[in-house]
Structure 1
Amino acid sequence: MQSVQISDDVAFLLRELTEREHISSANLIAQLVKSYKNETTKRDKLKEFFKPYRKNMSGFTSSEASP
């Protein structure tokens, strides 16, 4: 199991959300972790999909972009 430290403000907001949604804090955090993993997976799939279309921009500098 992983441990995470959060600020007092975040803890307060999580508590408010659990009360409003009538859900336990453990279930809320589990849902947040699941949503985060899903978003990360989607992002990684998009990155992989667009990988062949990327251009090599290693030589590009901001001064070259100026007219």
Structure 2
Amino acid sequence: MQLTTFLVDCLTKFPTARQAEREVNKEFDIWLPIIAGIATKEEVEVATSYELAILCEVARQKIELMKGGV
């Protein structure tokens, strides 16, 4: 019976906005290329640290260019 309660909790409880923000901030370099539309979650998950660094830099440059209204 305890297992059912655990599963119900896992399936029905959502993190608060603050908890979600903390989780994203902890792994911001992983989320940045996804947010910027540079890579998919699947691509980021298999990227090497070198490739992830390149993806993050491309994402930063894209965001910087978009600030100018390009």
Tell me which interval the TM-score lies in, with the shorter structure as reference length: 0.3 to 0.5
Normalised by the length of structure 1, the TM-score is 0.37
Normalised by the length of structure 2, the TM-score is 0.35
Bigger RCO (CA 8 Å, 6+ sep)? 2
User: In proportion to residue count, which structure has more helix?
Assistant: 2
